[in-house]
């Protein structure tokens, strides 16, 4: 429900004095129509005000204002939240999108990025120096939501999760205080920020460790869907002995209607095996051989630029469509899972829908599990059921398909424990199930300390 115009006026006046200098977009503002939109069109909400913050002081002012006024508060980074957490009806959206500066320290091999950056911003700055940290598979996702939930991407096996590369963070807590969290300062908060989502405050600045990523050997191979059994089994074998240099992803999706694809594949159901190899080109070519021997219908190797690979699938996920994702983790890629996946893909109500099957392990698995809030590092795979469609009248059919698909994967060993890939708010006893008892208890302690009144509750919420 929206606010009355009287309330809206009150909010406008109060924001002007409480958050001096910030751009406040109210419902009557000409930009409101577009500023209120988020990536997932299932969420068509009308906040009372969108506050575009340009610095940490304005973020702190906005937090204090929302708390005192008792208004709902959404934090918006890249706007890619699947459950639509970065918007609300009748409350405040604290929009970090003006805060997108990235500073690179090449000697220390670190980058400091403001909280509103996307991975496109981050990679553009760091790749100028041949450096990178783990970001998402696409470039438009915010560094904020992705890192705080864990963060998997093309460098997961080489460099760990996005949150594993976090060295420190400037955080505005629920009281409006600004703190620096790192291994040595506010260590419990720092622990919670790495996997616990946006529960504890607004991160205005992230400091990441950088790795040399000069040239990659990346790209993807494409196979027609009627070879799905054979390709899935071959992929299962392929990943068993892979060295850390190579991160891969198996994806079920329709091939784009694009001249670069063979005519018989265009618009048809297909399997994509994507990869990013940081080894030498000859070693990477050699590693790819078993998959090439299968005879892909299209071969888009090698791409040599990391940023090109990270943008390769952007066009398939534009803002403004409807989505319901349901992801999780699983130890093994069994025959039963392969059967279930193929059957669910066959009956999907929308040809835009699909599944991503990410191979984990490598550097990510070597981080001690208790050192961050991220729930599980032992699973070999993270999957994501991707419900994508356009028309609102088809919401239920598509959500229902994704839920049934995910339930089957859970029945066959999966667990819905990766918060970044869950379209449903995780409520009740579910957060405990996601994180496991001890981690959930520690997260609850951190929440009580930094946000006792649960101001930051539009997230996969840890209740204080």
- Given a contact cutoff of 8 angstroms between Cβ atoms, the answer to whether 43 and 84 are in contact is yes
Of 60, 125, 148, 455, the one binding ligand FAD (CB under 6 A) is: 148
CB nearer to ligand FAD: pick between 104 and 148: 148
In angstroms, the CA 381 to CA 453 distance is 36
Tell me if 39 contacts ligand FAD by CB under 6 A. Answer: yes
Q: Which of 103, 78, 87, 39 is nearest to 325 (CA)?
A: 39
Tell me if 146 contacts ligand FAD by CB under 6 A. Answer: yes
Strand blocks (E) in 35-173: 49-52, 73-76, 92-95, 102-105, 110-114, 131-132, 166-172
CB nearer to ligand FAD: pick between 150 and 296: 150
Q: Which of 271, 259, 141, 278 is nearest to 213 (CA)?
A: 278
Report which DSSP code applies to 52: E
Report which DSSP code applies to 415: B
In angstroms, the CA 464 to CA 461 distance is 9
List binders of ligand FAD among 261-280 (CB under 6 A).
none
CB nearer to ligand FAD: pick between 81 and 444: 81
**Least CB distance to ligand FAD at residue 50 (A):** 12
**Least CB distance to ligand FAD at residue 87 (A):** 8
For the record, the structure tokens of 66 come out as 């929302």
Task: Kindly indicate which of the ranges 76-84, 212-220, 347-355, 361-369 contains the residues binding ligand FAD, using the contact rule CB under 6 A.
Answer: 76-84
List binders of ligand FAD among 298-317 (CB under 6 A).
317
Of 202, 288, 330, 341, the one binding ligand FAD (CB under 6 A) is: 202
Of 142, 269, 275, 387, the one binding ligand FAD (CB under 6 A) is: 142
In angstroms, the CA 97 to CA 52 distance is 7
**Least CB distance to ligand FAD at residue 392 (A):** 18
Of 62, 81, 88, 388, the one binding ligand FAD (CB under 6 A) is: 81
Tell me if 458 contacts ligand FAD by CB under 6 A. Answer: yes
**Least CB distance to ligand FAD at residue 377 (A):** 14
CB nearer to ligand FAD: pick between 115 and 362: 115
> 50 forms bridges with which residues in the sheet?
25, 93
For the record, the structure tokens of 142 come out as 């915010």
Task: Kindly indicate which of the ranges 103-111, 181-189, 197-205, 222-230 contains the residues binding ligand FAD, using the contact rule CB under 6 A.
Answer: 197-205
Tell me if 338 contacts ligand FAD by CB under 6 A. Answer: no
Length of the chain: 464
In angstroms, the CA 362 to CA 144 distance is 24
**Least CB distance to ligand FAD at residue 330 (A):** 16
Name the phi and psi angles at 116, rounded to 5. -95, 5
> 255 forms bridges with which residues in the sheet?
none
Tell me if 288 contacts ligand FAD by CB under 6 A. Answer: no
Of 42, 62, 78, 309, the one binding ligand FAD (CB under 6 A) is: 78
**Least CB distance to ligand FAD at residue 336 (A):** 26
In angstroms, the CA 415 to CA 330 distance is 7
Of 76, 157, 326, 348, the one binding ligand FAD (CB under 6 A) is: 76
Tell me if residue 273 falls in helix, strand or coil.
strand
List binders of ligand FAD among 392-421 (CB under 6 A).
420
Q: How many residues bind ligand FAD (CB under 6 A)?
A: 36
In angstroms, the CA 339 to CA 236 distance is 14
Tell me if 96 contacts ligand FAD by CB under 6 A. Answer: yes
Of 15, 152, 345, 385, the one binding ligand FAD (CB under 6 A) is: 152
In angstroms, the CA 445 to CA 428 distance is 17
Q: Which of 18, 11, 5, 100 is nearest to 50 (CA)?
A: 11
For the record, the structure tokens of 415 come out as 């667990």
Of 47, 90, 91, 153, the one binding ligand FAD (CB under 6 A) is: 153
**Least CB distance to ligand FAD at residue 407 (A):** 21
Task: Kindly indicate which of the ranges 78-86, 297-305, 389-397, 426-434 contains the residues binding ligand FAD, using the contact rule CB under 6 A.
Answer: 78-86
In angstroms, the CA 220 to CA 226 distance is 18
CA angle (332, 333, 334) in 5-degree steps: 95
Of 18, 56, 58, 74, the one binding ligand FAD (CB under 6 A) is: 74
**Least CB distance to ligand FAD at residue 462 (A):** 11
> 95 forms bridges with which residues in the sheet?
52, 76
Which residues would be at the binding site for ligand FAD (CB under 6 A)?
39, 74-82, 85-86, 96, 115, 136-138, 141-142, 144-146, 148-153, 197-198, 202-203, 317, 420, 458-459
């Amino acid at each position: 429900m929206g606010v009355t115009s009287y309330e809206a006026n009150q909010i406008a006046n109060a924001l002007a004095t409480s958050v001096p200098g910030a751009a406040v977009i109210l419902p009557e503002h000409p930009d409101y129509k577009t500023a209120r939109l988020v990536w997932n069109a299932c969420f068509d909400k009308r906040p009372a005000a969108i506050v575009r913050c340009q610095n940490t002081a304005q973020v702190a002012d906005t937090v204090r204002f929302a708390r005192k006024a008792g208004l709902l508060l959404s934090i918006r980074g890249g706007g890619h939240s699947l459950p639509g957490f970065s918007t609300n009806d009748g409350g405040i959206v604290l929009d970090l999108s003006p805060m997108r500066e990235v500073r690179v320290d090449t000697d220390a091999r670190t980058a400091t990025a403001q909280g509103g950056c996307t991975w496109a911003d981050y990679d553009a700055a760091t790749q100028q120096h041949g450096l990178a940290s783990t970001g998402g598979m696409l470039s438009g996702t915010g560094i904020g939501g992705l890192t705080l939930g864990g963060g998997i991407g093309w460098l997961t096996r080489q460099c760990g999760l996005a949150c594993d590369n976090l060295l420190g963070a400037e955080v505005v807590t629920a009281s409006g205080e600004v703190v620096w969290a790192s291994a040595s300062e506010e260590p419990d908060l720092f622990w919670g920020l790495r996997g616990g989502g946006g529960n504890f405050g607004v991160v205005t600045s992230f400091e990441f460790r950088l790795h040399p990523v000069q040239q990659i050997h990346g790209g993807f191979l494409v196979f027609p869907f009627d070879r799905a059994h054979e390709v899935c089994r071959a992929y299962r074998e392929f990943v068993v002995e892979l060295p850390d240099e190579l991160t891969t992803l198996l994806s079920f999706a329709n091939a784009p209607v694009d001249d670069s694809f063979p005519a018989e594949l265009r618009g048809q159901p297909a399997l994509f095996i994507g990869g990013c190899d940081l080894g030498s080109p000859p070693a990477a070519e050699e590693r790819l051989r078993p998959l090439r021997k299968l005879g892909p219908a299209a071969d888009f190797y090698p791409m040599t630029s990391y940023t090109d690979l990270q943008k390769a699938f952007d066009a398939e996920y534009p803002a403004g469509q409807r989505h319901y994702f349901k992801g999780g983790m699983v130890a093994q890629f069994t025959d039963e899972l392969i059967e279930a996946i193929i059957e669910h893909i066959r009956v999907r109500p929308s040809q835009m829908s699909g599944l991503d099957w990410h191979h984990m392990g490598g550097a990510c698995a070597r981080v001690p599990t208790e050192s961050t809030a991220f729930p599980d590092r032992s699973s070999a795979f993270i999957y994501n059921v991707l419900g994508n469609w356009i028309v609102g009248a088809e919401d239920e059919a598509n959500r229902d398909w994704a839920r049934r698909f995910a339930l089957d994967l859970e029945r066959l060993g999966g667990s819905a424990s990766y918060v970044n890939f869950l379209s449903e708010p995780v409520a009740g006893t579910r957060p405990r199930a996601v994180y496991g008892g001890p981690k959930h208890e520690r997260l609850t302690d951190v929440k009580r300390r930094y946000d006792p009144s649960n101001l930051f509750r539009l997230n996969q919420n840890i209740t204080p």
